[in-house]
Structure 1
């Protein structure tokens, strides 16, 4: 019986199940694209609930695949749903969903890493940064291969207030490998504290909502999956440009098991490394014998502020690249990965220790 005075909720008409869609269009998850399908609609509903109130909202779903989360989003009665899907094999199945929800769905066959999000939504939805978040949400079960580069890109967009954040403090609800989810939310001193922890938490309120066991996915990944919700902060905790913060944080965590002064030192050319590192640590009031994961957000804020002052005094300092210096010193080929260089240096350190 209908409840008087209440509009009937939007529900999709009867459709083939996700399993039937996969069978109908002969869809197989591609391992090289790290694709894993979530077929349990109770779980897709649970993910969508973490996004908040979506009735009449404008939503962008990243990588909808066969459309499990898409159905859960549509059942909340959104105003508009933008689907950005890179894999052309999924488009016909998504078009079926579009036809079942006339006027609500727009499908873009493209790569979310290059898609211009500034033009994704109507301009009237734009809010001032200081206001409540706009009625825009990003939701996605991300392939593992793209999740970290994508969140780093979006965190830079948060810092610059462009991309999806042209409209204000757009909220995101995304999936990551459990370990990445733990890094994103790790507290000072935690074993998962990392570059990702600082970059995310200085710009956003980050909540690890719940964990989905790997066996819920097809094919089953070797890891469990975390659902993480992001709300950009009105004021970042570190008041410096994204690239500068990224450089300081990345350097600090370069030698995770060593004293933080070891990583901070690679901000400076070898000829003045000792003197400049000592100056930076002293002026930032940071104990050089702390490990990188023991540094608080205020430690990083101080380090970034002092490093910015040093860069202002010496305009060439910010362009200094430790990796390039290391390559030239060891005559490594240009395509040598960063991790290979660092591993080589770590091994040298261990060898010296063993000799002693």
Structure 2
């Protein structure tokens, strides 16, 4: 990769700019440019897309995205120490890289991009799940993005793609699978990163659906699933008592056995339950 863009290896970049990863920022740098290029390719054809990247650090994935032909890349980096390294990449790709120093949780990135937009990021561990939930829960659907290609801790990735009756199945799986098609496309060991985290990582690719998989009011579905999974070991007739009224009749009306637990109920049934609650 270094021979493609003419920039130095990432270890040299880190030394030159004294970029010691900060734990409080959730930083674990991926330094293998072959791996960052592979992640960029997992996002699909980028030549006609603007790309949003959160937490680029010294720019390994940024270089992969640009080298793979992204039309334009917007990077949002909270750590001001990384900006000079990113500016060196911008100079190599004139007009194709915009750098914003700030907090991705506070930035309206969509306003700075032109569609179609793909989000590709090695997300900082401390904000990864929160960003995903925000991207999956806009006020209006479909959202600004067409796909998300995101790196998480392996356990979080497994929660996103989990199916009923498995250990990782819960609200995150329901939210992701209600409005998108998620799949794990890559696994990475701790030693791929500097510093090496204590956990394995995985890349998840989510392709948005133009409409949710089953009709339901988002707020009601969120409320019902929160009640169900907050007491996931209890039978639904107990965990959903807070809905009021005859909960058993409500459950039976949508084909759910009241003695079942949340982890046994699929997305379609939860959506049916949310519709019944809204109608009542």
TM-score normalised by the shorter chain: which range applies? over 0.9
SS in structure 2 at match of 1:55: coil
2:16 to 24, 41, 45: 24
Give the structure with higher Rg (CA). 1
Match in the other structure for 2:173: 197
Cα drift, residue 299 of structure 1: 1.1
Deviations 1:254-296 (A, max 9, x none): 112222222222334xxxxxx4322321322211111211101
Asked if 1:185 corresponds to 2:161, the answer is yes
Deviations 1:164-194 (A, max 9, x none): x24xx52110011101100100112122111
Match in the other structure for 2:33: 41
Deviations 1:219-274 (A, max 9, x none): 11111001001111122123223222111111110112222222222334xxxxxx
* Ranges in structure 1 where 5+ consecutive residues have no aligned partner: 1-10, 126-133, 269-274, 311-356
Deviations 1:282-332 (A, max 9, x none): 32221111121110112101110011112xxxxxxxxxxxxxxxxxxxxxx
Alpha-carbon separation, structure 2, partners of 1:120 and 1:266: 43
1:142 to 105, 123, 127: 123
Alpha-carbon RMSD: 1.6
Asked if 1:106 corresponds to 2:98, the answer is yes
SS in structure 1 at match of 2:137: helix
Aligned length: 278
Asked if 1:249 corresponds to 2:225, the answer is yes
Alpha-carbon separation, structure 1, partners of 2:236 and 2:186: 32
Cα drift, residue 12 of structure 1: 4.8
SS in structure 2 at match of 1:113: helix
* Ranges in structure 2 where 5+ consecutive residues have no aligned partner: none
The answer (yes or no) to whether the contact 2:217–2:274 under 8 Å persists in 1 is no
SS in structure 2 at match of 1:137: strand
Alpha-carbon separation, structure 1, partners of 2:192 and 2:242: 43
Match in the other structure for 1:207: 183
Match in the other structure for 1:285: 255
Deviations 1:67-106 (A, max 9, x none): 0101111111222111111111111100000001111111
Cα drift, residue 57 of structure 1: 2.3
Cα drift, residue 21 of structure 1: 1.1
Cα drift, residue 60 of structure 1: 1.1
Q: Which deviates the most, 197-206 or 241-250?
A: 241-250
The answer (yes or no) to whether the contact 2:51–2:73 under 8 Å persists in 1 is yes
After superposition, the Cα gap between the structure-2 partners of 1:267 and 1:12, relative to the gap in structure 1 and judged at 3 Å, is farther
Match in the other structure for 2:272: 302
Alpha-carbon separation, structure 2, partners of 1:260 and 1:86: 42
SS in structure 1 at match of 2:86: helix
Alpha-carbon separation, structure 2, partners of 1:56 and 1:234: 19
TM-score of the two chains, using structure 2 as the length reference:
0.94
Alpha-carbon separation, structure 2, partners of 1:117 and 1:239: 28
Q: Taking CA–CA contacts closer than 8 Å with sequence separation of 6 or more, which of the two structures ends up with the larger relative contact order?
A: 2
SS in structure 2 at match of 1:145: coil
